[in-house]
Amino acid sequence: MITARKGTVVFAIQGSRVNGSALSASGGVMMKRVADGRRCARAFWAACVFALIGLCAATATRAEDYERGEYRFSIAPAADWVELQAVAERWDEQRLPTAGAQWRSWLADSQHARFGGRRARYLDVAYEALSAALLTEVGKVEIDFRPDFERLTIHEIGLRRDGKWQSRLKPEAVTLARRETAFERDMALGSVSAMVVLDDVRIGDVVRVRYTIEGENPILAGLDHVDARFAQSAPMLQRQLRVLLDPGTQLNEQRDAPIAAAQVKQGARQAEWRYRAEMVAPVVREDGNPVWFVPYPEVTLSEKRDWGAVAAWARTLYPKPAPLPADLMARIAQWRMLPDQQARIADALLAVQEEVRYFGVEIGDNTHKPREPAEVWEQRRGDCKDKSRLLVAILAALDIPANPALVSAASGKRVALMPPAASVFDHVIVQVHSDKGVLWLDPTRTAQRGPALAQAIGEFGFALPVSATAKALVAVTPNPANSSTTRVVERYMPQEHGNELALEIRAEYAGTIANTVRSELRYSGSDALARRYADFYRRRFPELDIAAPLAVEDDAALNRIVVTERYRVTRPWASNSPGQRGLDLAADSIASVIALPATLKRHTPLAFAFPFDVTHRTELVLPKGWRWRGSPAERALDDPAAQYRYRAGLDGATVFSEETLHAREASVPVERMAAHLEWRRSAREQNLQRWVLDVPDAQADAARNERLGDLVRDVMNDNRTAKKGRGHD
């Protein structure tokens, strides 16, 4: 099972997805990474998730097989069940304008054979670049497939220029190579790429590719699904999904608006479900969407079944494990001596998270079937399913009931809307029935500390437990004591004459945010983190120096980290007039959460940090004779998504402001967006502040003299420059 762990982005023209993995791992046309200057190309290919590239060039009359080392592919006509779609002769600019677009999608057609024992998918896309900068990407075709259970047949690769089609399919130009695009995400998929570089591609050319991939992952036992998206980030002239099934087959369907209902035909040989769309306007993807939200309308199909059937399949993959190794049993005996069940769960989880590194070999049965826990422990490596089965085995030895649980990291809670299928899941976690209630644990996470009740879990929404009684999805809820709290004290101490400040920031992190900070420290190191923190404050104070090394206190038992920064700031004042100083401030730990999204006129939901609880206190110690020109204030701003509080005043000789933000939900729906964005604007206005301070006459005189000295130096420098210039006349 492919896990969504570390985020390496791949850019693909994906089509209908089969076996639960995007076509990048099962026959998609992959686009190589492009430079930052080609982000429009990336956006098109990533959103044009229609892994088909069709064409109309001359068709081979017989099948021919070709080998490249240990891998092979065929060139042949499409099977008789395929219906060839015509590419339109012209683009209707009136009905589907492309002004400002980077790409045109002329055709995106996916057809699936799931009848008479067949499992095959035919993919066909025709596309055109509207910018010369994208011709490099147009000229590269890459088709990924899994040779351990799939066979690739290329039908056509061609190009239309001036209304005429040219064949560009040359067998000798097709390269097959093992390219582990997921390797840097700690996974080996066993996928192979068929790569073709097209010569002489020009603006106005329409490129088309057609191919079929036969076979499916046998470990899924036919419990897979088909899905397709009916919009993308570029205008699309024609889109089709055609699924052929055994006569009388009943389907589960999930269909988003505005996809039209399927045209269904029942025949003696097969049943046909066909979805079509024409003149599809591009979808502009908005930033900040929750993980479960898909901006492109989708249709998802599977044979009629319930989640109980999928759970029964999953149980066959998780049999009773073989005996555990002696050294692990010795550790289990030590954990048995701990004072309570929660401590035993926490220690067992920590051992699996930290001592068994994440790495998945997703080849053959290993895509979904976990290895023996004894092997995983001895090799000290495994993916999500391996680590989850290992943790369940350890907990069983501790007499703590637990089950692996299948979830979707890619779809989140949307999985509950999808037709039941084994292929909708891409991750495995653990459901524990503890003496304090049900816990959800993720053995692939690292840098977690603290009690079992407080462990963080991802936004999976729903899970399918691998248990004897499981027949339906169950909600994945946050663990009872899970939280994420930050307490920051930012303290300014003016030095002699007020020309310099000592700045100390003490940040205390607990819960989920402590895990994040611990992870940053682990992977970046404290020195790199200190430099990054210092550079952050230099945006506000250009003349800032580190006064002391970053200090870190880590209380693993309570999962609490305290980080202390100390700086020396020269010329800190935003304004420096006679008798006054001005200091610009912002509670940065809150500012990032209430920042406005890039897209403000929104049509889609907005994710919100959750759980999230922050208090940020800013203090300035007034030297003798200094006076704050402000007055005490309090303000409360409430929104269904979060609560914001502000107060400011004097505490003895210290000016302070204190801001708190408490999150209430993980996303904001569209119908509440206008009010929520107005709430953010109000909170941001309060968050950004300037303190104005009166200073004694002596310090004002010193400041005046310093400004006068700066002015004299500037004049002298200008004179020297002028004299130098005359010397060259």
Q: Which amino acid is at 457?
A: I
Q: What is the pLDDT at residue 37? A: 33
**Average predicted confidence (pLDDT) for the chain:** 87
Q: What is the pLDDT at residue 5? A: 24
Indicate if 470 and 491 belong to the same structural domain. no
292 pLDDT above the threshold of 80 = yes
Mean pLDDT, residues 42-50: 35
Q: What is the pLDDT at residue 497? A: 76
Indicate if 266 and 245 belong to the same structural domain. yes
Would 198 be classed as within a structural domain?
yes
18 pLDDT above the threshold of 80 = no
Indicate if 32 and 112 belong to the same structural domain. yes
Among 454, 475, 496, the domain-final residue is 475
DSSP structural state of residue 308: H
359 pLDDT above the threshold of 90 = no
Indicate if 558 and 705 belong to the same structural domain. no
Q: What is the pLDDT at residue 299? A: 98
**First-to-final CA distance of the chain:** 76
474 pLDDT above the threshold of 80 = yes
Backbone φ and ψ of 384, nearest 5°: -60, -45
Q: Which tokens is 553 given? A: 């206190």
Mean pLDDT, residues 149-163: 97
**CATH number, domain at 86?**
2.60.40.3140
Query: Which segment of 115-119, 291-295, 339-343, 577-581 scores lowest on mean pLDDT?
Result: 577-581
Q: What is the pLDDT at residue 8? A: 23
Mean pLDDT, residues 511-531: 95
Q: What is the pLDDT at residue 477? A: 96
pTM, 2 dp: 0.85
Q: Which tokens is 408 given? A: 């979707």
How far is it, in rounded angstroms, from Cα 308 to Cα 546?
Answer: 60
Q: What is the pLDDT at residue 191? A: 83
Indicate if 168 and 255 belong to the same structural domain. yes
Indicate if 523 and 460 belong to the same structural domain. no
Contact status, residue 679 vs residue 574, Cβ threshold 8 Å: no
Would 4 be classed as within a structural domain?
no
Contacts with 530 (C-beta within 8 Å, 6 or more apart), sequence order: 546, 549, 550, 565
238 pLDDT above the threshold of 90 = yes
Indicate if 226 and 319 belong to the same structural domain. no
Contact status, residue 229 vs residue 297, Cβ threshold 8 Å: yes
The 10s digit of each residue's pLDDT in 530-588 is 999 999 999 999 999 999 999 999 999 999 999 999 999 999 999 888 889 999 999 99
**CA distances to 149, 484, 512, 522 from 519, in Å:** 38, 15, 11, 5
How far is it, in rounded angstroms, from Cα 43 to Cα 45?
Answer: 6
Would 290 be classed as within a structural domain?
no
Among 282, 303, 319, the domain-final residue is 282
Tell me the chain's radius of gyration from C-alpha atoms: 31
516: containing domain: 484-694
Contacts with 277 (C-beta within 8 Å, 6 or more apart), sequence order: 230, 236, 238, 239, 240, 259, 260
427 pLDDT above the threshold of 60 = yes
